[in-house]
Structures are given as structure tokens and as C-alpha cells.
A and B are shown apart, each in its own frame.
Chain A
Amino acid sequence: MERSEEDEFRAFVGVRMERWRRAAYLMCHDWHMADDLVGTVVAKLYERWRRVAATDNPDAYAQRVLTTAWIDERRRPWRREQPADVLPDPAWTPPDRTGDREELVRMLARLGRRQRAVVVLRFYFDRSVEETAELLGISAGTVKSQSARALEMLRTLACASGSPQ
């Protein structure tokens, strides 16, 4: 990769990194794994950057890698998500939004793998039904039904817990 291409790559990644991390967190509920998934996205993008940059929509490619990486990751025994006896010091004090976050985690954890990916693509990355279907390699009908089921479940859970919808 030439210098100018690498600069372009770094700029592309730099402005999207936080958005990818947050989307990954929505799916896996673990910031360490979210960073792993984003690392996978960065590596795959770098490997294919010349081709990706030449496409109409490199964002779509990155989002597809992110969501499919997570769907695959859940089935791999090689992943790093393992229980720890001693939690590392995060050197970071989270703001006092624990209640919201726990609620979000609790609600999303009730959804299946692909449903979470559908929710993230549809409502976080604002992809259309057709785009989501193409990115996940499933039919538009499946996206619609999974979106509807996911929203229904989230609404039910939110109502049950008194959270805003």
C-alpha cells in the first residue's frame, strides 16, 4: 500500500472507530470484545483497502465485516471472551449511567445473535431493510420479521421495567 493510500485508510478508520466500537458494544455488551471486533474490522479493511476504497460504499463493507465477525465470533472457541478471576483495572471511571447501561444490556441480551446484528444495522447504522438483508446475507423478509420481533421484545421489556421507549 502506498503512503497516500495508507493515509487515506487511517483517516477513514479514525473518524469511524468510535462508531464501530459502540455498535460492537451493542452486539456483544463487552468493551474488550468490542475492541477485538473493531480490530478485526481494521485488519480486514487494511488487507483489502485498495478494493474497498474503490467501491461505492466502503462503510457498508466495514459494517458487514463488523456484524458478521460478531456472529462468527460467538461460535469460535478461540475467542478471548473468557472469565477472569481478577478483573483488570480499567483506569477509567465510567459516568453514573449504570442503570441505563445495565438495562440496555439486559434487554439486548434477550435477543438472538442475528437479531442484535439486525437491530444495530437497522437502527444504529440506519441501514434500510434491503441494505441490512444484503449485508447479512439474508432475505428482506427475514430482516423485517427479525426487526419486528426485536422491537416487540424491547418494547415489552422496556414497558415492564418502566424505561422510556
Chain B
Amino acid sequence: MNQEMLDRMIGAAPPSTVDVDEVIGRTRRRQRFRRAATGGVAAAVAAFAVLVAVNLAGRPPRPVPVVQVPAAPSASSGPLIEVDTPAGRARTLARLGTVLEAAVESHAPGTRWIYMPDVPGEKRLPDGHPAMWVTEDPVSFQARSGITGGGRKGGFYLSLRAAGCAAMTSCSPLYECDGTVPVCESTRISSGLTLVHYVDKPGKSRVFYGTDVELRGGKYALRMLAVNYFGGDGAPAVAPVPVLTRDQLDAVAAEVAERFSD
């Protein structure tokens, strides 16, 4: 097998839809936004004050989730996120799984993890725990699972990875509220962490609830998504809304983020 043979089998490609100018423009806007977000602390504080004032004067703000965070592990237990060795990554993944399951049990009682298929032919995993794994570029900790509760089921996704875009690695900065989704709110929760909550309805009755939390120190970001469909590519919506409510997702994300903030 070689390039020539594969090219012959692919045949002629349709015209490209990649618009390099558009990609460059979008990337520039994102870079400007990030620079403004990280450099303009005073502006951000002012904007936050304006947002609070608008909320107080207008519609009542959505209540910020009150999270009862259990005592964090002692400092002597070492760093919570270990990325340098396979053993450290395995420990981190195990800790993340434990904390995630405890948080969901605490904030969304009555829900249960169930196996959710992704691609045809994959090995079926047992119910009861989310599927979890570690990826490279850079190291990130991931989870995906089906979840049931309240007589319906849906999907759940988690990633814990570098928040900053440094030295040729992919990254996961907090979701940017750029007006493209129906709901997007950035707030500071009681523990002082920044939480971005967003809702997207991309069509086909699909509903995504997303919560991003930047961990203390700003080095890592936690992302959780609750979706109202179940399965891999192109799976249809199976319920009007995800199993976890928006507040439950926020509370779970806030607790996990707090437990993983050094």
C-alpha cells in the first residue's frame, strides 16, 4: 500500500470548501478576544459590574449553583493532575472518575451511568461507570457515557485538559460567549473559579448543555457536556432535554473543578 494506490482509490476530490481567508479572520478574532480577556482585567471587572447591574435592573439572574464541596485531599497527597508519567496519568484518571461519580451522585440523585455506543462494532462496556481515557497532544483526561434518570436517557461528555494554548499543543480555553448560542453566561462561582455555562440547540431537536470551568491557577480547564441524544455519530435526540439539568451540570462541574484545583 502506498500513496499512489490510495490516491487512485480516492479518485477526484470535490472542490474544497476550506476558506483560508475566513479561517485566518476567525483565528485573528479569537486571538484578539483572548488577548483582551487575559490582558484587560480591569475591563473585565467593569464589564462584570455592568452585567450584574443589568441583571439586577432587568430580569432576575439565574441562581449561581451553590456547591457543597467536600474537603479537598491533603496537600501531602501530591499534585492532583499528574501528566508526566503513565502511572501519574492513570492515577489522575482514576481520581477524576471517582470525583465525577461522587459529584453526580450527590447533585443528580437517581441518575445512573449506562453504556453509550459510539462507533459500530466497538466492544460493549459494562454499565455503572463512565468510559474514561487519556489522550495526548497535550495530555487530556476524557470521559463519555450514557446516563439515565427521570425516565429518560442522554449522553454525557467530559474533558480536563490544558486551558492555555502553548508551544504547539492543542488546548481547551473556556467557551467564548460570542453570541452564537442561545444561552451563554460567564460567572464566578463561590469558590472563586470562573464558570461558563452555555446552551446550544443546533437543530434536529438536539440540545447541548455545556459547562466550562477554569481550574485555579488557570492552567487547566474542565468541560462537561450533557446532551439529549444517545450514541455516536448522527444519533437522534431521544428526549426533549438532557438528563442532567443545567443547574445539576453546573454543580457537578463546579465540584469536580474545585476538587482538582490545587
Contacts and interface: CB of A to CB of B under 8 A. Distances in A.
Interface of A: 6, 10, 13-14, 17-18, 21-22, 25-26, 31-32, 35, 38-39, 42-44, 46-48, 51-52, 55, 61, 64-65, 68-69, 71-72, 74-79, 81-83, 90-92, 94-95, 97, 100-101, 103-104, 110, 113, 119, 123-126, 136-138, 151, 154, 165
Contact of B9 (A65, A79, A83, A100): A100
Interface in B104-157: 118-119, 121, 135-137, 142, 144, 155, 157
A158 B2 CA distance: 15
Contacts of B17: 32, 35
Interface stretch (B43-51, B164-172, B183-191, B246-254): B164-172
Contact of A77 (B2, B7, B119, B227): B227
B144 to A, nearest CB: 6
B192 interface: no
Given A68-B137, A75-B142, A123-B3, 8 more contacts: A18-B13, A31-B14, A47-B27, A51-B167, A82-B203, A83-B204, A119-B1, A123-B1
Contacts of B165: 47-48
Interface of B: 1-3, 6-18, 20, 23-24, 26-27, 31, 118-119, 121, 135-137, 142, 144, 155, 157, 165, 167-168, 170, 200, 202-204, 206, 208, 225, 227, 229, 232-234, 236
Nearest to A58: B168
15 contacts: A6-B24, A38-B18, A44-B170, A46-B24, A61-B168, A68-B136, A81-B233, A81-B234, A82-B203, A82-B234, A97-B11, A101-B9, A124-B3, A126-B2, A137-B136
Given A78-B225, A101-B11, A39 B136 contact: no
Contact of B12 (A61, A95, A124, A165): A95
A32 B15 CA distance: 10
Contacts of A123: 1-3, 6
Nearest to B26: A43
A26 B3 contact: no
Given A97-B12, A100-B8, A83 B225 contact: no
Contact of B18 (A21, A104, A154): A21
Nearest to B3: A124
A30 to B, nearest CB: 10
Of the listed residues A17, A22, A165, the one surrounded by the most CB atoms of chain B closer than 10 A to its CB is A22
A75 B16 contact: no
A77 B157 contact: yes
Of the listed residues B23, B227, B229, B234, the one surrounded by the most CB atoms of chain A closer than 10 A to its CB is B23
A77 B170 contact: no
A26 B6 contact: yes
A48 B171 CA distance: 12
Given A42-B20, A77-B157, A123-B6, A65 B170 contact: yes
